[in-house]
Structure 1
Amino acid sequence: MELKALGYLGVDTTDLDGWRAYGSRFLGLQLTDSVSDSMAFRMDDRRQRLTVSNANRNGLGFMGWEVTDALHLDRFAARLEKAHVKISRGSRALCEQRQVRDLVVFADPVGNRLEVYHGLADAGTPFTPGRTMSGFRTGDMGIGHVVLTVPNAAQILPFYRDLLGFRLSDYFERPFKAVFMHLNQRHHSLAILETGEVGIHHLMFETLSLDDVGQAYDLALVDEGRIATTLGRHTNDQVVSFYAKSPSGFLVECGWGGLAINPETWQPYEVVHGPSFWGHDRNWLPPEGQEDARRIRMAAAQNGARANVNVIEGLFNVTKC
């Protein structure tokens, strides 16, 4: 497997000023560079993880996927060319803009811009969050995950799985169709949600502390209309999270406690007991979808659906009852 992780993201927005406060004071990212038409955020020891650009549209600008080095980048580019995927090498100016050593650019079958790179620059200074918080879970697992919306999941799945090398984690048929894929220990770095439209549903950033999520939830509660999915816990990646509407209209999932899998032994399966153990009322679903999701969730609770809590070593105390 040549792709290692989701390394950076680009977002287009008609509300650049809104992202300044949303990214730093709400999500807790560190604002680094800000010019008239764009801004960049850190979330760890790397110089740049999220770029927000002023545009005449709202949505995903690009996804940056990491490979180990120049050799792996060349191999990956050769694989794409052999499959007749049109690619272009990143110019020196683009590489400097992305803070990487080299990259290639191409598009998926529905037009999303993908960039595969190596050598994302270190910041050289400690990460300073935009609000008081513990930080984000990144490293070899990447910066989190991205969920795309597509007209037909079955049609786009072969591109990501068979050509790009993503591995299937699991999938839903109800209350909506979704496919989840991984590259590393993170349960999924990419998911495909079948909605009939091309776009982005949400990004997920995972914090190091459950309290970071709870305090973000408090901030969202006092901002009318900010919460799009209430606090809850997922069944597949086991994250405790909520979803907040971004200034670009799509959602950002603020989460904690994600499942770390073994990519070499993991076996994909259909999730039949719904996407959440509890919570996660999804305001973005139509009323019949919301009701279906609640019925599935209540049935899972009655059947005793449970999972262990996933806590990073060193960040917990054992309490004896």
Structure 2
Amino acid sequence: MIQALGYMVIGSDHGAGWGDFATRLLGMQRVDQGGGLQHFRMDDRAQRLIVAPGDAPATIGWEVADAAALDALAARLEARSTRVRRANPRERAVTDLIAFEDPQGTRLEAFHGAERAPAPFVPGRPITGFRTGPLGMGHAVLHVADAKALLPFYTEVLGFRVTDWGETPYPLYFFHMNPRHHSFAMVGSGRAGLHHFMVELGALDDVGQGLDIARTEQGRLAYGLGRHTNDHMTSFYAQTPDDFFVEYGWGARTVDPATWVPHETFDGPSLWGHERHHMPEDQRARMRAMAMDAAARGVRAPDPNPGPVRTGCAWADAVIRAE
């Protein structure tokens, strides 16, 4: 069973841009190991993000518990006629590694035994740190041509569990494998490729200061600050040096995989904010209208620190108590 998102591998012809983006904005630590590759740390792992020269599609690295789990996964893949090959574990700083593709052609890897770094993590700028550990690196989201057609591969073969899904403004499916609300998602946009990967910070101020940095660079801010409806993440999205985004967030909810019940959502992707600066105005207006509709209906995330609220107005206090 896959346990978490372990790492991302990005093929890019914009290596210099990645060095600055990953450290100065995201706060990762650069730890290059030669061969033209750039390696970045987020925690006690030897690496979490690898940027390789060239424009090869992104590769998503999934972590399993041990050698037996990796062998079992390889057997399930081969039983479903998915070609599996052994890859060089030293390139990923792991004990063992397999490589394969999903039915759409997305490059995937699975591994066990991630190498720990000998020295403490030193962020590229002052941040409290990243929320990783058992939750993994964060999450990865793919553009797909047909989300429903890919469901059997990700649920039956890889063992991902559906957290929730929505059909408006386009098909969206979210999957968990640990308490993180989702480590993987699919956007039925009709395209193929990486939409974004997400990293979660330890403090809201880390995100706000990253937002300030993104604002200083022309075209860097793809989505403004906002809060998602399903995982309650407060985040913004930054345009990477390539054709996808990084979500930079804080405060996402967790789930209990043993008791969670998958369900459909109807309130769109964002409770507020997340202005899509990269979209044409008609598409931006559509997303904005969905958030305004949710606001008109009083949709909001639960308060993590609930307490008595007194407005001084008896009617308002009664409404708040009822909610």
* Residues 59 and 249 in structure 1, CA contact (< 8 A), matched pair in contact too: no
Question: How many residue pairs get matched?
Answer: 310
- Map of 1:22 onto structure 2: 21
Instruction: Report the alpha carbon displacement of residue 289 of structure 1 after superposing the two structures with TM.
Output: 2.8
Tell me the CA shift for residue 280 of structure 1. Answer: 0.6
Q: Give % identity.
A: 45
Superposed CA deviations along residues 273-292 of structure 1, whole A, max 9, x for unmatched, are 11111101123444333222
After superposition, what is the alpha-carbon deviation per residue over 1:69-116, rounded to whole angstroms, capped at 9, x for unaligned?
1111111111111112110112xxx21110000011111111111111
Using the TM superposition, give the Cα deviation of residue 310 of structure 1 relative to its aligned residue in structure 2, in angstroms. Answer: 5.3
Return the alpha-carbon distance in structure 1 between the equivalents of residues 37 and 224 of structure 2: 30
Structure 1 match to 2:48: 49
Query: What is the DSSP-based 3-state SS (H/G/I as helix, E as strand, rest coil) of the residue aligned with 1:37?
Result: coil
Residues 146/18 of structure 1: CA separation in 2 closer, same or farther (3 Å cut): same
**Pairing partner for 2:97 from 80, 92, 103:** 103
Aligned mate of 2:63, from 66, 70, 87:
66
- 8 Å CA contact retained: 2:201, 2:249: yes
Q: How far apart are the structure 1 equivalents of 2:262 and 2:96?
A: 33
Q: Structure 2: how far apart are the matches of 1:64 and 1:100?
A: 11
Does the 8 Å contact 1:259/1:310 carry over to 2? no
Q: What does residue range 155-304 of structure 1 map to in structure 2 within 5 Å?
A: 155-304=149-298
Question: Residue 84 of structure 2 corresponds to which residue in structure 1?
Answer: 87
Asked if the contact 1:59–1:248 (Cα under 8 Å) also holds between the matched residues in 2, the reply is no
Alignment partner, residue 315 of structure 1: none
The reply to whether residue 122 of structure 1 matches residue 121 of structure 2 is no
CA distance in 2, matches of 1:235, 1:132: 29
CA distance, structure 2, for counterparts of residue 169 and residue 290 of structure 1: 26
Offset of residue 258 of structure 1? 0.7
- Whether the aligned pair in 1 keeps the contact of 2:180 and 2:254 (CA below 8 Å) is yes
Once the two structures are overlaid, the 10-residue window that deviates more, 13-22 or 282-291, is 282-291
CA contact (8 A) 1:235 1:276 kept: yes
CA distance in 1, matches of 2:283, 2:169: 6
Distance 1:135 1:319, change over 3 A: farther
Q: Give unmatched runs, 5+ long, in structure 2.
A: 311-323
Between the aligned partners of 1:178 and 1:234, the Cα distance in structure 2 is 13
Which of the two has higher C-alpha Rg?
2
Q: Does 1:39 align with 2:38?
A: yes
1:39-75 Cα distance to aligned partner (Å, 9 max, x none): 00000001011000110x2641x11111111111111
Residue identity in the other structure for 1:38: L
Q: Over aligned residues, Cα RMSD in angstroms?
A: 1.8
